[in-house]
Amino acid sequence: MKFVEAARGIVPLRRHVRIGVTGLARSGKTSLLTSLAINLLALSRGVPALPAVSRHLAGRSIRVRLAAAGASSMPRFNPLEKSASLAADPPSWPSPTDTVSVLELDLDIDQPGTAGALWPAARLRLEILDYPGEWLIDLPLLGQDFADWSADALKRLDTEPDAATFLRFLHGLPPATVADEALARTGHDLYVAALRALQAKGRAMLQPGRFLMPPPGAAPPWMAFFPMPGASRLAALMAQRFDAYRTAVRTGLSGPGFARVDRLVVLADILGALHAGPAAFADQALALGTVARALQNRPPLPLLPSWLQPWGIGRIAFAATKADHVARAQRANLASLLRSLTELAGDVPAPAFARAFARPFALAAIACTEDFTWTLDGRPVSAVRGHVAGQGVLRSYPGEVPDRAPDAGWWQHPFLSLPAFAPKRLEPGGRGAIPQLALDELLVFLLEDVL
Ligand SMILES: Nc1nc2c(ncn2[C@@H]2O[C@H](COP(=O)(O)OP(=O)(O)OP(=O)(O)O)[C@@H](O)[C@H]2O)c(=O)[nH]1
Ligand SMILES: [Mg+2]
């Protein structure tokens, strides 16, 4: 069959698969994209970088290269630049990012014995988008009206000292406030300041997400709103602007850079939230649960932005990142915890979600540790050890990871510490592989039907 095709000069078309990778600030997006690219490139050179992918390929060979830039208008994610800090001496983490970018890889997969002689059996273009998690947090808001959204948003701020100034302003407004632009502006600025302060504390459930991560370009005037109760003229103006915001979220992402995604990866630093304490954890849980529900139990379809239409996304992976902070058995618990937070009922298609499959993962894109058995108080525990800058090799057993949302008892002995492990040094020139945990399994889950 393949011979005939080759003789006739038929080259299989390159199939484009677009994967959205999203997660809140510092959840591990850049590390994931970097490791994915470097390890696929290594695999292509015969380095056993992604064992689960090799098993799935079952003897077929794979060739991977960075795609040519073409005429794309999206900023490009360059894994060689990103991984340069990993190859430095001493190695360090890739620097933080604050823009949307796209990683493009071409994959050619050959049948055994045909490499080079014939056209590849499968040709893929992977387009992997680094998509701000703050924007994902806006999904649930699409199904709410201004009054409901305001009530929810204000309830979340009620007990937060960081929101005190904004709340004083809000409660100082007379019931019949006029639709004054200066008031709208002041309220908006105070509200954004409160959101920023909470974000700095690691809070996630902060809406509207685009207040914290504005889209490129000048902010349109209708961005100036804030949650408020009542039926004043000002409240009516805020409601109008809220509606304009929702419309922009629904329609504004369908430009060339944000056309439909086929697969979605939602990253969350669950271990970090467990370490930060009950309030931070409850907030992460709420954000994840709300987003998962918005993705799975879909509101009326026209409400969803076009890039997330259900016939688009074939698979959704929820992933707890930085799982190299805990040993193997704990990583299984971490995946179960994530499953319960996102209310996934097995690897089955969610009911309202014709084609999409969702699955939880506990992974480390750039694994810095190794497991070992540590004797603590005469009892063996599964611990990890890794290098910490300035401290040498550090052993760590942060505690038991709960396999579902922890109860009050668990919080009596919360996570001791999460050391800032340094990445292992990558072979200079980006030639080696990056140690990873379950990143290979994530890739197989995302692509098994097209590989
Ligand atoms: N131990 C460990 N730490 C990780 C891993 N991935 C990320 N980190 C840590 O988390 C930090 C943030 O990771 P990034 O990949 O930059 O996260 P991001 O989501 O791209 O962050 P922003 O773009 O800045 O919002 C890194 O600098 C590391 O300190 C991992 O697999 N293992
Ligand atoms: Mg980043």
Q: What is the pLDDT of residues 404-447, one digit of tens each?
A: 999 988 898 877 789 999 999 998 765 789 999 999 999 999 99
**In the predicted model, what is the mean pLDDT of residues 37-43?**
96
Q: Which of 179-188, 256-265, 297-306, 380-389 has the lowest mean pLDDT?
A: 297-306
Ligand 1 contact via 324 beta carbon (within 6 Å): yes
Q: Of the bound ligands, which one is closest to the alpha carbon of residue 325?
A: 1
CATH topology of domain 2-136+261-367+425-447: Rossmann fold (3.40.50)
Dist. CA 170 → ligand 2 center (Å): 35
* pLDDT, the chain, mean: 86
Ligand 1 atom nearest to 26, measured from its CA: 21
Dist. CA 30 → ligand 2 center (Å): 4
**pLDDT at 6 exceeding the cut of 50:** no
**pLDDT at 12 exceeding the cut of 80:** no
More confident residue, 111 or 232: 232
Q: Report residue 341's pLDDT band, with 50, 70 and 90 as the boundaries.
A: very high
Ligand 1 contact via 85 beta carbon (within 6 Å): no
Dist. CA 112 → ligand 2 center (Å): 38
Ligand 1 contact via 439 beta carbon (within 6 Å): no
As annotated, the residues of the chain forming the CATH 3.40.50.300 domain(s) are 2-136+261-367+425-447
Ligand 1 contact via 78 beta carbon (within 6 Å): no
C-alpha distance across the termini of the chain, in Å = 19
**pLDDT at 207 exceeding the cut of 60:** yes
Ligand 1 contact via 436 beta carbon (within 6 Å): no
The whole-number pLDDT of residue 131 equals 80
Ligand 1 contact via 320 beta carbon (within 6 Å): no
- Cβ contact 415:275 at 8 Å: yes
Ligand 1 contact via 97 beta carbon (within 6 Å): yes
The whole-number pLDDT of residue 254 equals 38
Question: How far apart are alpha carbons 221 and 267 in whole angstroms?
Answer: 32
The whole-number pLDDT of residue 230 equals 93
Length of the chain: 451
Ligand 1 atom nearest to 366, measured from its CA: 31
The whole-number pLDDT of residue 122 equals 84
Dist. CA 28 → ligand 1 center (Å): 4
Ligand 1 contact via 134 beta carbon (within 6 Å): no
**pLDDT at 114 exceeding the cut of 70:** no
Dist. CA 36 → ligand 1 center (Å): 14
**pLDDT at 125 exceeding the cut of 70:** yes
Closest CA to 381 of 401, 409, 404, 362: 401
Triad 343, 348, 353: Cα angle to 5° = 80
Closest C-alpha residue for ligand 1 atom 4: 322
The widest CA-to-CA distance across the chain, in whole angstroms, is: 81
Q: Report residue 356's pLDDT band, with 50, 70 and 90 as the boundaries.
A: low
**pLDDT at 308 exceeding the cut of 80:** no
- Cβ contact 265:185 at 8 Å: no
Ligand 1 contact via 25 beta carbon (within 6 Å): yes
Q: Which of 135-149, 231-245, 317-331, 351-365 has the lowest mean pLDDT?
A: 351-365
113's CB contacts (< 8 A; 6+ apart) are: none
CA dihedral 244, 249, 251, 256 (to 10 degrees): 140
More confident residue, 102 or 70: 102
Q: Of the bound ligands, which one is closest to the alpha carbon of residue 362?
A: 1
Question: pTM for the full model?
Answer: 0.87
Ligand 1 contact via 334 beta carbon (within 6 Å): no
Q: Report residue 223's pLDDT band, with 50, 70 and 90 as the boundaries.
A: very high
Closest C-alpha residue for ligand 1 atom 27: 93
The whole-number pLDDT of residue 95 equals 87
The whole-number pLDDT of residue 449 equals 86
Strands of the sheet containing 15-23, edge to edge, are: 61-66, 101-110, 122-132, 15-23, 263-268, 315-320, 357-362
- Cβ contact 434:35 at 8 Å: yes
